[in-house]
A and B are shown apart, each in its own frame.
Chain A
Amino acid sequence: MTADPGDAVDWRRPSPLLLRARRIQVGITAIPLAFIGGLAAQTVSAWLGIGIAIVVIVVAVATERFLARRVAAWGYAERHQDLMIRRGVLVRRQSVIPYGRMQFIDVTAGPIERSLGLATLRMHTAAAASDARIPGLHRDVAAALRDQLAALGEAQATGL
């Protein structure tokens, strides 16, 4: 049993489509890699080529098993004065970012995210170490959250 300050928090989660986005990402790296690696190695011996392709595929499948847990680990909670974000399976992290400290908020979407209607929300504070982001939000949710955070940030803004 570990004392986890997040236990009492009512977490909201990214869209379930995030898992699919992550799977596609693994797929489009692993399959060409297996193919090219296999082709390159088969110039030495056909079995080596098949072996390498299989290893790459096995690693990809193992990553895929892990993905579900990683995606499930993401969560955020809008509290009264600050935003709380958690992530990570092996190294677990939780951050608290006061609304007043947010300098600007980005919504970005890569090609895979865009095709699934997802977006990543990124919050910037004056500290480089803060690194607060929420991936895999539905596009409308991300936009609404961005506007809401911006309004809260403006209301509670403080100087450096």
Chain B
Amino acid sequence: MTSLTAGTWHRLHPLSPLVRAGRQFTAVVIVLFTIALANQRQERGDLIGDIVVVVVVLAGGVVSWLVTRWQVADGVLRIDTGLVRRDSRRFPLSQVQAIDVVQTGLARVLGLAELRLRVVGGDASRGARLACLSVADAKRVRQQLLTMAGTTAPAAAAPAAASLSDPGRDATVAVAARELFRVRPERLAVAVLLSPTGAVTAVTIAVIAAIAAAGLPGVASSLTAVALGAVLGTWRQFNSEYGTAVAAGPDGLQLRSGLVQTAAETIRPGRVQGVRLVEPLLWRAFGWCRVEVDVAGPSQRGENRTQARRLRALVPVGTRREAEDMITELLGARPVPSLRPPRRARWKAPLSYHFLGFGADDRYVVAARGRICRQTTWVPLEKVQSVRWVQGPLQRRLTLTSVHLDVAGRRVSASIEDRDAAEAADLFGRLPDLARAARARSA
């Protein structure tokens, strides 16, 4: 058992190399499996070669486990690692913002968990990482570290730091939380299959099946890799959105999701930069939609690039009513995109004209666009970073103009498309002032 007496050196859990090598390990197993399937008369030498690769990866993990140790002394967490190039990192506990307990799929099977410490003002790569401890240890160490860190954010950590979330905390405040939404698994399964990713996957598999049926198994098997990728993408979406539950807690919305790899996050109300309601073509038949939020702050470690680019889905799929309720919870009273563009905008946007529109009050601007995938974006005026006025050649012919409001983060902007040029000029003149007024009010 791990106890945090000052100055004692600790090791990570002996099974952690297995978890850390988990991703590569799974990949190697899949590759082995495919090779074995594709080429049944495989030379024994190749197989031995593959096994050697697995052994080397594991051995590397074991060596790294052997040379890694950590201690807590004088309010500083110190992690030493490295065989050839020794690496010793210190993390003053007073600067720790949040400590997350994260479990990947393999770690859950083995009863292990990873501790991630988020540090003031740094990007995620500067955070400390203890991978892995047993779940009980991880929870206790987290509690002890938090106590040592004084739990509350230090004064130096002012506004930027206060915006970091503390997913682990929801365990303690779960009683006070009021559940707002829980995704229905069967609906999510259907919705993922009907989403663009799912549809592409289905078509790919159908094409391959057709090719195989047409008596060209060689071609079909060479396309299996493509299908595998598509299936994995679909699976990843399902996996990350399965069991999404949103509850209103004392310090914001608590979001929990994940089937194999679970994640927990707290979204503070002041951090929301934009809210988006998405209604893909196939979902509209069922009256389903999706609510995503854009949240400022560094992306978490372990998020890959696609995850980082995707917005947080608060409602991965839900009825129109559930979505409306969630948006009301986030924004309160809000404008609707009821102001239509002039009829001549049809010539410039023949498809999306159907849904184009915008609305504004003194707190939010909302803009709708898209025909196949209808998107309605709300942006708080106080979060607007810049306002852009754009007029393309065709728009100039039709005396139309678009105005975009940019907010921080992952390329979310409210695009007020194809307004009459005079109206756009007026908007472009007034929006910066409205935004300034909203900022002054919130400050």
Contact = CB atoms under 8 A, between A and B. Distances in A.
21 contacts: A2-B401, A3-B424, A5-B429, A81-B432, A91-B391, A95-B387, A97-B385, A97-B386, A98-B432, A98-B436, A100-B439, A101-B385, A125-B406, A126-B408, A127-B386, A128-B410, A128-B411, A129-B386, A130-B385, A160-B160, A160-B296
B422 interface: yes
Interface string A87-131: 000111111111011000000000000000000000001111110
Interface residues of B, number: 39
Contact of A91 (B163, B387, B390, B431): B390
Contact of B399 (A3, A5, A94, A96): A3
B343 interface: no
A81 B428 CA distance: 15
A158 B408 CA distance: 13
B432 A90 contact: no
B159 interface: yes
A125 B409 CA distance: 10
* Most chain A CB neighbours (cut-off 10 Å) among B385, B410, B428: B385
B133 interface: no
Nearest to A84: B432
Contacts of A125: 385-386, 406, 408
Given A126-B407, A160-B163, 20 more contacts: A3-B399, A3-B401, A3-B421, A82-B432, A91-B393, A92-B390, A92-B396, A95-B387, A100-B439, A126-B385, A127-B407, A128-B411, A129-B386, A129-B388, A129-B404, A129-B411, A130-B388, A130-B406, A160-B296, A160-B408
A134 interface: no
Main secondary structure of the interface of A (DSSP, over half): loop
Given A3-B424, A126-B409, A128-B411, A93 B386 contact: no
Given A2-B421, A5-B429, A132-B386, A159 B160 contact: yes
B392 interface: yes
A127 B436 contact: no
Interface residues of A, number: 27
Contacts of B383: 160
Contacts of B428: 5, 94, 96
Contacts of A96: 386-388, 428, 431-432
Interface in A50-81: 81
Contacts of B160: 159-160
Interface of B: 159-160, 163, 271, 273, 296, 383, 385-393, 396, 399, 401, 404, 406-411, 413, 421-422, 424-425, 428-429, 431-432, 435-436, 439, 443
Contacts of A90: 392-393
A97 B435 CA distance: 11
Contacts of A126: 296, 385, 407-409
Nearest to B296: A160
Contacts of A94: 388-389, 428
B389 A93 contact: yes
A85 to B, nearest CB: 10
A159 B408 CA distance: 11
Contacts of B392: 90-91
Given A81-B436, A129-B404, A130-B406, A5 B386 contact: no
Contact of B409 (A82, A127, A132, A159): A127
A101 B404 CA distance: 16
A3 B391 CA distance: 11
B211 to A, nearest CB: 41
A98 B440 CA distance: 13
A98 B435 contact: yes
A115 to B, nearest CB: 32
Nearest to A93: B390
A94 B383 CA distance: 19
Contacts of A159: 159-160
B406 A129 contact: yes
Nearest to B388: A95
Contacts of A101: 385-386
Contacts of A91: 390-393
A4 B432 CA distance: 16
* Most chain A CB neighbours (cut-off 10 Å) among B296, B386, B407, B408: B386
Contacts of A160: 159-160, 163, 271, 273, 296, 383, 408
A94 B404 CA distance: 10
A95 B386 contact: yes
A89 to B, nearest CB: 9
A2 B396 contact: yes
A125 B385 CA distance: 7
A82 B434 CA distance: 13
Nearest to B429: A5
A132 B404 CA distance: 14
Contacts of B435: 98
B357 to A, nearest CB: 20
B389 A127 contact: no
B432 A95 contact: no
